[in-house]
Amino acid sequence: MSLSKAPALAASPRLAPAVFVLTLFLSASLLFFVQPLFTRIVLPHVGGSPAVWTTAMLFFQTVLIAGYLYAHLLTRALPVRGQVMVHLGVWAVALISLPLSVPAGWQFDADGLAVWQTLLLFAAGVGLPFFALSANAPLIQFWYSRSGGPSADDPYFLYGASNLGSLVALLGFPLAAEPLFGASQIGIGWAAGFVALGGALAMSGLFTGGPAVPLAHGPSQDARPRWGEVARWAFLAFIPSSLMLSVTLKISIDMGSFPLVWAVPLALYLLSFVLAFSNRRLLAPRTLTIVAALALAVLSLYAFGLHGNYLDWGSVGVLLVCFFCIALFAHRKLYEARPDGHRLTGFYLTMSVGGALGGLFNSVVAPLVFSGLQEAMITAVLAVLLFLPLVGNRRALGQQLIQGITIGMVVSVPALLIGYSQGANGWGAVLMILVLGSVICLAWLRRSALSCYGAGVVLLLVGALVGHDPATWRDRSFFGTHVVTEEAGMRLYGNGTTVHGAQRLADDAGGRPEPLYYYHRNGPLAQVLTSAKADAAERVGIVGLGVGSLACYAQEGQDWHFYEIDRMVDRIARTPEWFRFLTACTPDAPTHMGDARMVLDRQKDMRFDILVIDAYSSDSVPVHLTTNEAMQLYLDRLAPGGLLVYHISNRYYDIDIPLARSAEDLGLAARIQDYKGNTKEDLGDVAMTAVVLARSADDLGDLAEDPRWRVLESDGGPVWTDDYANLVSIIRN
């Protein structure tokens, strides 16, 4: 019997909740399981950048809008049974994308716009299935309102079941699926679940078609929402979305970009939905407001960079708890602002637009407009509006805001004049003026919270404009943040939270500059590049350019090649006003742009006597450069007797563990050195860790018996492959 002719199962209304909850739970699980899954699949193709997840979220949020819009229009254009038939057709078309994979022949173009390429890759690989899944939450809730089941007059309770499924899937991927199975196996399981979803959708359709149930009304009962109401829904969805992406990016830059780091903030984001979209209150409104306000104050310290140079695991926990409290508060306000069930699809459509605006702001606008991670600061400032009593006539509220902005501008004029006339020398006076101005504004405008807010935003903006920045230069790209600073007689280049090279200011005068930091002459990399093996080397490859420090170990007649995915890094290294290593030591050495593994794979005839893998930006781990297949590729590019060297200094992960497993699996001789540094005598002589590999101990040359290098032994654990890797297992205690 076809769905269009099947009788409605309104005679068994008590079965309806179970069927609809099961369908929504399965759909939501698939929806949020595929996000880390497909991002994990594409990482090797786009360089493992922390921004990949932010861009992925922009894609998913944008497609979610399309799905919600489709659901909204479908419920307006067709009867319920027609909606079921059409949606089953969309599900059937999406089956052609299974199993999930990167389209054959796709390659990253280092000269193209990384965000746009990543978005197109996601669209081609997972666009159709995700679109089909994205429409299910509003559609299935609308169908339930026509089922005659219990609480059909207020189907919002199903949204909690949807988010619970999402939460289970998000945590299940990094904590259960990824440690136990490879990405291809997980993909097959996901495809099976997507096929099963078709049956669940058809079963849900059998319960529809009865008489429309009178719907309960929420706080707003007008036939059409007012623009102010719609804007409020979008704003309440924007704040948690933007904060979630900001927190994720910060953690990814410091800790690494991998599924667990992506999943935990998103899981907390969804958990806030589960708890907020419920008739039961977790906390009393006043208590929740106080907790969220305190959380925003603490989170703002991180957003404005007052927590220190980098995160530790304790700081990550504090940051996540604060974000969760703010998201819970915002989503509770969103739930309380919900309309009646007749406008359910429009409400969810607006929510999705607000969330996508957060993704657009963080993924596209921020990298283009800001030189640092300022999106977190801006969103934190906007989040203050969540706590202000914005009641009354809109014109009166606007006047209060303008009054605050005007007074803030007036009191900040002296700070602007001093800041622009005296520069860094006047920063102390500027700070005193801004503090005094804040006190004046607070006393003058104390009766209007909105006026105080307007004045405060102006004072913060002025402080940002004329504040002292110790950096000589800073910017950001798709692959991270970049900063050049000068201190202690050295010019430093930082990527994320880690110094990736330094040059003494005295070396600006000429000659060959002296490598510093990880590349100091006392360190392991220098030991390899000044060894007898290096003296005999004809060709040397460096994966990860930095400022080109290693170039000054090049010897006359050698052929050096550098590999770098970030065009901005190459520009920094080749600007002699900043760093002179390349121009002074290897002016003719090319930089091969793109993901090094992809580029090397195409260079079939390239053979190196020494190949150095130094592509670990900040303290993140590009897993695709650390797998068995990657190591085999590097070996294929080594000349007979060649050396493969990994620079693996890291605050959070023991990268030597997967390298040792692969070395044992491939039958290689392996040595490791944990160099302690000597910063007491030379600030540029820092601690670092390196691993050197060769096909045999004889190929290691004099390094084989060097007491500074100890044998690297495997722990016998599973070998990392392109299909399987488990970063959680190598986190340092």
Q: Is the peptide bond preceding residue 99 cis, with omega within 30 degrees of 0?
A: yes
Query: Would you mind telling me the total number of residues written for the chain in this entry?
Result: 733
In terms of Cα–Cα distance, which of 54, 30, 259, 244 is closest to 126? Answer: 30
Percentage with pLDDT > 90 across the chain = 46
**pLDDT value at residue 327:** 96
Report the mean per-residue pLDDT for the chain. Answer: 86
Tell me if residue 484 falls in helix, strand or coil.
Answer: strand
H or E segment and range at residue 495? strand 490-495
Say if residues 128 and 122 touch (Cβ distance below 8 Å).
no
Separation of first and last alpha carbons in the chain: 60
Angle at which helix 51-77 crosses helix 227-255, to 10 degrees, equals: 150
Q: Is the pLDDT of residue 560 over 70?
A: yes
Alpha-carbon distance 531 to 703, whole Å? 8
Both tokens assigned to 460: 């913060």
Task: Round to whole Å and give the CA distance between 672 and 646.
Answer: 9
Q: What is the mean pLDDT of residues 593-621?
A: 85
Three-state DSSP class for residue 720: coil
SS3 label, residue 613: strand
Between residues 192 and 151, the one the model is more confident about: 192
The one-letter amino acid at 232: R
Among all chains, which residue has been given the structure tokens 């801006």? 378
pLDDT at 391 over 70: no
Under DSSP, the state recorded for 339 is B
- Asked if 63 contacts 179 with a C-beta cutoff of 8 angstroms, the reply is no
Residue 124 CB contacts under 8 Å (≥ 6 apart), including other chains: 103, 106
Residues 379-394 have a mean pLDDT of 86
Tell me the fold of 480-730: Rossmann fold (3.40.50)
> Which of 238-242, 277-281, 492-496 is least confident?
277-281
**Statement: 13-387 belongs to CATH 1.10.10.10:** no
pLDDT tens-digit map of 22-41: 898 899 899 989 988 998 88
Q: How many other C-beta atoms are found inside a 10 Å radius of the C-beta of residue 390?
A: 15
pLDDT band at 157 (very low <50, low <70, confident <90, very high): low
668 pLDDT tier (thresholds 50, 70, 90): very high
The CA distance from 87 to 80, in Å, is: 11
Amino acid at 106: W
Average pLDDT (680-709) is 94
The confidence score (pLDDT) of residue 220 equals 43
pLDDT of 621: 63
pLDDT tens-digit map of 88-114:
999 999 999 999 988 887 877 777 787
State residue 618's pLDDT score. 55
Task: Tell me, rounded to whole angstroms, the distance of Cα 592 from its chain centroid.
Answer: 26
- Strand (E) or helix (H) holding 253: helix 227-255
Cβ proximity of 660 and 714 under 8 Å? yes
The pLDDT tens digits of the residues spanning 116-143 come to 888 999 999 999 999 999 999 888 888 8
- pLDDT value at residue 209: 60
Got the DSSP string for 370-436?
A: -SSSHHHHHHHHHHGGGGS---S-HHHHHHHHHHHHHHHHHHHHHHHHHHHHHGGGGHHHHHHHHHH
Rounded average pLDDT over 381-397: 84
Q: What is the pLDDT of residue 588?
A: 95
pLDDT digits (tens, 9 = 90+) for 319-330: 999 999 999 999
pLDDT at 644 over 50: yes
pLDDT band at 2 (very low <50, low <70, confident <90, very high): very low
Average pLDDT over residues 694-716: 95
Per-range mean pLDDT, top range of 223-237, 506-520, 717-731: 506-520
| pLDDT for 1 beyond 50 | no
Among 329, 330, 23, residue whose Cα is nearest residue 155: 23
Asked if 487 and 260 count as a contact pair (C-beta separation under 8 A), the reply is: no
> What distance in Å separates the CA atoms of residue 354 and residue 346, rounded to the nearest whole number?
12
Helix (H, G, I), strand (E, B) or coil at 671: strand
Is pLDDT larger for residue 664 or for residue 12?
664
pLDDT digits (tens, 9 = 90+) for 463-473: 877 776 778 89
Which among 325, 300, 327 has a CA at the least distance from the CA of 237?
327
CB-based burial label for 427 (10 Å; 0-12, 13-18, 19+) = middle
pLDDT at 216 over 50: no
- The candidate with the shortest Cα–Cα distance to 240, out of 366, 326, 351, 317, is 326
* Nearest partner of 583 among 591, 574, 592, 596, judged by Cα: 574
Q: Residue ranges per domain, the chain?
A: 13-387, 394-469, 480-730
CA distance 179 to 624: 16
Give Cα 240 to chain centroid, integer Å: 15
Residue 369 has pLDDT above 80, yes or no: yes
Q: Give residue 159's pLDDT band: very low, low, confident or very high (50, 70, 90).
A: low
Query: What's the confidence (pLDDT) of residue 346?
Result: 80
Whether the CB-CB separation of 669 and 695 falls below 8 Å is answered with yes
